[in-house]
Amino acid sequence: MKSLSWKRGFTLIELLVVMGVIAILAAVIIASLSTVRSKARDTNRITDMRAMKVALSAAKSDWRALPATNGAISEGSSRRTNLIGILVNNGYIREIPIETYHTTTTYFYYWCNSAAVSSYCAGDAAGDNMTYAIRFRTERASALGPTGYYCLTSIGFTKTGTQDGSASTTCEER
C-alpha cells in the first residue's frame, strides 16, 4: 500500500504576511531615500555657494571690482553669461552653479553698489562697489539653520525670508 505524503508548502496566509512585511520595508526605504536626496541637494547648494564666495573673493582681489550684474543666475541668462565671462574664463571657478531642483526659485546674484540697492541688497555702505549678495533656498534644515532662504555675502551666510516665498528682507553684511 502506498503511504499518503503531503508536500509541505507555504500557506496563503504565510505568503500574504511575507508580502506585507516586504511592502512595509520598501515604503520605509523609499521615504528615507527621499530625505537623503534632499539633504544631498542642500549640501551641494552650500558647497556651490562656498565655491562662488572663493571665486568672487579672488576676482575682487585681482580686479578690484565685482561682476556688475543683478538678477537670476538661470540657464541661458545674460547674468550667468556675464559671470561665466569673468569667473569661469579667468579660472576662478570651474562653472557657475545653477539651481536644478526648484522650478520656481533659482540662485540670484546681486552686485551691490551705493547707487543700485535691490530688495535683497543692503547696499554698499563704503561706496567702493565691492559688496555682493547671492540668494538661495534650502529644502531642509542644514548646517546653516532651518529650511528657507539664505544669502551669501562677502562676510558669510545669513538667513532671509521664509519658506513660503517671502524674501522681502535684505541680505545684509554681518
- Phi and psi based region of residue 64 (left: phi greater than 0; alpha: psi -120 to 50; beta: remaining): left
Concatenating the DSSP letter of every residue in 25-44 gives HHHHHHHHHHHHHHHHHHHH
pLDDT of residue 61: 86
More confident of the two residues 138 and 116? 138
- As a whole number, the mean pLDDT across the chain is 75
pLDDT of residue 100: 66
Helices vs. strands in the chain: H and E counts, helices first: 2, 5
pLDDT of residue 151: 80
pTM equals 0.68
pLDDT tens-digit readout, 85-114: 888 888 888 888 877 666 555 677 766 654
Nearest to 139 by CA among 87, 96, 102, 86: 102
pLDDT of residue 109: 72
- Helix (H), strand (E) at residue 18: helix 12-63
